[in-house]
């Protein structure tokens, strides 16, 4: 158990920030103000927050389509994130990426990939670069239980293992890929069991417990910094929302029981950390209420910023295709 009160409180704060951000995003979708796909991270906050707080600011991170939690956990700016969701020019990607593709290279957020497992080689490449340069940075690579079945997982875990690259593979096992339960498509009881195939540590963690995630990832980070290579951490967690917002309209098959969702709500990561802080006398109910209000205000302010921001101008459509632009047919 962690003694560092500031850290323990920060864990709750970041989780709240993600929760409110995503609640806001869901609401914006429902109101039709946010177009495109949104994959809410609600219920899974402890995984990204525990993992990212175990990183240094100049460490790297890659993520996936369920994409708001990772960058916020890594210290990203909710204003620029929200502006991106609304497709505004002040967004992280000037509106070109949208919800599934947040990134902030200035603080090591190397981007969220909409194609599954597709960012894992990118993570491994960043780790390779740190090794070539003799730096001590590490890379956290987030991916889902579904994505764990992509061939790229095998290639990258093996590559990181043989070259002893500083990668923490963080599998967010929320137990479903859209409607498919992981037990039907993964041959081992746990995804972390696959670490055996790469001779690397594989650890199953309670993904609802932000402290447990922090501790497991910290240990992996330490190994990585010592040059001992990658680890695979599986955070067992749960999503409360649909796979993506609005999907229930299409998928009629009830693939999971209401009781299951209800059970996991009793293990809400924010609730658990909230209670723990109070039990440990690290924060009072009033202090937490203040923090909640502050985080809500932060999101409200971010939304206001995003709304007031301009859309990109039509002439920007070809910008950023290349870093060294070339003449191409623009007609």
Ligand X SMILES: Cc1ncc(C[n+]2csc(CCOP(=O)(O)OP(=O)(O)O)c2C)c(N)n1
Q: Which residues bind ligand X (CB under 6 A)?
A: 39, 65-66, 114-116, 144-147, 172, 174, 176-178, 243
Which residues lie below 8 Å from residue 224, measured CB to CB, with a gap of 6+?
138, 165, 166, 167, 168, 230, 231
Phi and psi dihedrals of 78, rounded to 5?
Answer: -65, -25
- Interface residue with another protein, options 1, 257, 286, 328 (CB under 8 A): 328
User: Is 32 a residue that touches another protein (CB under 8 A)?
Assistant: no
Nearer to another protein, 150 or 215 (CB): 150
User: Is 189 a residue that touches another protein (CB under 8 A)?
Assistant: no
- Minimal distance, residue 165 CB to its own copies, in Å: 11
**If contact means CB under 5 to 8 A according to the sort of partner, which of another protein, Mg ion, its own copies, none does residue 174 touch?**
Mg ion
Neighbours of 34 (CB within 10 A): 22
- Kindly indicate which of the ranges 201-209, 213-221, 229-237, 314-322 contains the residues binding another protein, using the contact rule CB under 8 A: 314-322
Residue positions counted in the chain: 331
User: Is 253 a residue that touches its own copies (CB under 8 A)?
Assistant: no
Q: Among candidates 14, 4, 95, 12, which has minimal Cα distance to 273? A: 12
Q: Where are the beta strands (DSSP E) in the chain?
A: 60-64, 109-113, 139-144, 167-173, 176-177, 180-181, 202-206, 231-236
- Kindly indicate which of the ranges 7-15, 48-56, 119-127, 287-295 contains the residues binding another protein, using the contact rule CB under 8 A: 119-127
- Interface residue with its own copies, options 7, 107, 197, 228 (CB under 8 A): 197
**Which residues contact Mg ion by CB under 5 A?**
144-146, 174, 177
| Binding site residues, its own copies, CB under 8 A | 149-155, 158, 161-162, 184-188, 193-194, 196-200
């Amino acid at each position: 158990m962690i003694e560092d009160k500031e850290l323990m409180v920060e864990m709750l704060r970041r989780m709240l920030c993600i929760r409110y951000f995503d609640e806001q995003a869901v609401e914006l979708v429902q109101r039709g103000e946010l177009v495109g796909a949104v994959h809410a991270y609600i219920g899974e906050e402890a995984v990204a927050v525990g993992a990212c707080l175990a990183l240094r600011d100049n460490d790297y991170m890659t993520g996936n389509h369920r994409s708001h939690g990772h960058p916020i956990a890594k210290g990203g700016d909710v204003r620029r994130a929200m502006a991106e969701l609304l497709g505004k020019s002040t967004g992280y990607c000037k509106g070109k990426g949208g919800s599934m593709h947040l990134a902030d290279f200035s603080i090591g957020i190397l981007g969220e990939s909409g194609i599954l497992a597709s960012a894992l080689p990118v993570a491994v490449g960043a780790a390779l670069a740190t090794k070539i340069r003799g730096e001590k940075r590490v890379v956290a690579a987030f991916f889902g239980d579904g994505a764990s079945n992509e061939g790229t997982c095998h290639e990258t875990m093996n590559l990181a293992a043989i070259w002893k690259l500083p990668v923490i593979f963080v599998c967010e096992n929320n137990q479903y890929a859209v409607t498919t339960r992981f037990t039907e498509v993964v041959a081992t009881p746990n995804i972390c069991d696959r670490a055996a195939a790469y001779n690397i540590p594989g650890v199953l963690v309670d993904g609802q417990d932000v402290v447990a995630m922090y501790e497991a990832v910290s240990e992996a980070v330490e190994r990585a910094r010592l040059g001992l290579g990658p680890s695979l951490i599986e955070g067992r967690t749960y999503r409360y929302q649909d796979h993506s917002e609005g999907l229930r309209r299409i998928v009629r098959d009830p693939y999971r029981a209401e009781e299951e969702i209800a059970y996991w709500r009793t293990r809400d990561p924010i609730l658990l950390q909230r209670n723990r802080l109070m039990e440990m006398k690290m924060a009072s109910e009033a202090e937490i209420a203040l923090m909640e209000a502050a985080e809500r205000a932060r999101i409200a302010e971010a939304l206001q910023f995003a709304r007031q921001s301009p859309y990109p101008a039509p002439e920007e459509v070809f910008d950023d295709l290349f870093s060294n632009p070339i003449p191409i047919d623009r007609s």
